Structure 1
Amino acid sequence: MTSCAALLRGINLGSRRRVAMADLRTWLAELGHAEVRTLLQSGNAVFRTERELDEVRAELSAHLTERAGFPVACVLRTAAELAEVVAADPLGAVATNPSRYFVVFLDRPVTSPDLEPDAFAPELFHLGEREVYFWVPEGVRDSKVLAAFPARADEVATMRNWNTVTKLLAMAQAVPDLRTR
C-alpha cells in the first residue's frame, strides 16, 4: 500500500462548497482507502491505497462530486513526492514566513510561463516539475505574481502554504508505505 495525500481544490473556502472532514474521511473509506486522516478543515486528507494514483484521482473526484453535490477536483501526491517538494524548498532562503510561502500543486507537468521573475520583486516564483513555489511577503490578496501567473483551463491546480505542506508531509510519513516493507 502507498501512503498519499489528496489535496482537494476549492472546498471550505467560505460559506459555500462546505465539506465536513468527518464526511471526507467516510467517503475515502467507502472507496477502500485505509488509515484515512484529515488536516483541520483544509480539504486535505492522507490515506493508504493499493491502487494506482491516476485511478484513485479519477475515482476520488467522481465520488466526492457525487457525495458533496458540487464538483471536487483533486491533486494527489505520494509521501515520497511530498518529501521531494519539501526537500527542494527552492525559496526557503528568502521565505521567512511559512504562511506566505506557497506551493501550487498541479495535476500535470508545469509549463513555463512567459513571465520575467524579476518583474515581481520582492515576490518570487520557482518552477518545479509539477509544482510552482511562490514567495509573497505581503500576502496573497494583493500579490502581483499570483495575479499574473497563467492558469490553464484543462489542468487542476491547488495552492497550499508551507505550513500545510510540511504538516501533510509529516502526516503522510506517519502512515507507512507497505510496498517498502
Structure 2
Amino acid sequence: MTSYVALLRAVNVGGTGKLPMGELKAIGEAAGFTDVRTYIASGNLLFTSKLAEKAVKTALERLLQDHAGKPVGVMVRTAAELAAVLAANPFPEAAGNRVVAIFLDAPPAATTLRDVTGAKDERLALGRREIYVHYGDGMADSRLKIPAGKAGTARNMNTVAQLAELAAAR
C-alpha cells in the first residue's frame, strides 16, 4: 500500500468549489482507498491505496466530477514525494506561510519563469513538479501571474509540512 496525498484545486477558496470535507472523505472511501482522512477545508485528502498514482488521480477526478457536476483538478503525491517537496524548498529561511509550492501534474518547462508577469518582490524557483514562490510582502497585495500555475494548486509550506508528517505516519 502506498500513502498518498491528493490536493484538490479551487476547493473552498474564495467562495468557490464548495465541498465539505466529510463528503471528500466519503468520495475517497468510495474510490476504494483506505485510511482516508482530510486535513483542513482546502481540499487535502490523505489515504493509502494499492493503485498507481495515475489510477488514483483518474478515479478521484471521475468521482469528483460526478459529485460536483464539473471537473475538479487533482494533484497527487506520495508521502515520500511530499516530503521531498518540503526538503527542496529553495526559500527555507522564509516564513512557511509566505512560501507556496504550486503543485503541477508534470515538470514545469524550463521557460516557465519567463512567462511570469507582475512580479514585485516575489522570488520563484522550479521544482520537480512544482513551482515555488516566496511572497516577500505576502500574497494579499501581490500582482504575480504565473500562467503555468493555472492548472495546478498551491499550498503553503506550513500546510505541506503538516501533510508530509501526516502522510508519513500512515
Maintained 8 Å contact 2:108/2:148: no
CA deviation vs aligned residue, 1:73-111 (integer Å, no higher than 9, x gap): 100000000111111121113x1x211111000001111
Maintained 8 Å contact 2:113/2:124: no
Maintained 8 Å contact 1:91/1:126: no
Q: Distance in 1 between matches of 2:12 and 2:115?
A: 33
Aligned to 2:108: 110
Aligned to 1:82: 82
Q: Which amino acid aligns with 2:137?
A: E
Aligned to 1:36: 36
Q: Distance in 1 between matches of 2:87 and 2:122?
A: 21
Maintained 8 Å contact 2:115/2:147: no
Q: Distance in 2 between matches of 1:48 and 1:92?
A: 29
Residues matched between the structures, number = 168
Per-residue deviation, 1:67: 1.2
Q: How high is the TM-score relative to the length of structure 1? A: 0.86
Change over 3 Å in CA distance of 1:152–1:138 after alignment to 2: closer
**Match of 1:139, SS?**
coil
Q: Which amino acid aligns with 1:104?
A: I
Q: Which amino acid aligns with 1:102?
A: V
Aligned to 1:45: 45
**Match of 2:22, SS?**
helix
**Match of 2:48, SS?**
strand
Q: Distance in 2 between matches of 1:82 and 1:173?
A: 9
1:151 to 148, 153, 164: 148
Root-mean-square deviation (Å): 2.0
Identical columns (%): 38
**Match of 1:99, SS?**
helix
Gaps of 5+ in 2: none
Q: Distance in 2 between matches of 1:114 and 1:157?
A: 15
Q: Distance in 1 between matches of 2:70 and 2:147?
A: 25
1:163-174 equivalent positions in 2, closer than 5 A: 163-174=158-169
CA deviation vs aligned residue, 1:154-179 (integer Å, no higher than 9, x gap): xx31111111111110110111xxxx
1:14-29 equivalent positions in 2, closer than 5 A: 14-29=14-29
Q: Which amino acid aligns with 1:135?
A: H
Per-residue deviation, 1:13: 1.2
CA deviation vs aligned residue, 1:88-144 (integer Å, no higher than 9, x gap): 121113x1x211111000001111225399x94631011111011110021223324
Per-residue deviation, 1:2: 0.1
Aligned to 2:68: 68
Q: How high is the TM-score relative to the length of structure 2? A: 0.91
Q: Distance in 2 between matches of 1:90 and 1:133?
A: 7
Q: Distance in 2 between matches of 1:120 and 1:17?
A: 28
Q: Distance in 2 between matches of 1:138 and 1:92?
A: 16
Deviates more, 1:10-19 or 1:162-171: 10-19
In the TM superposition, structure 1's runs of 4+ consecutive aligned residues that sit over 4 Å from their partners are none
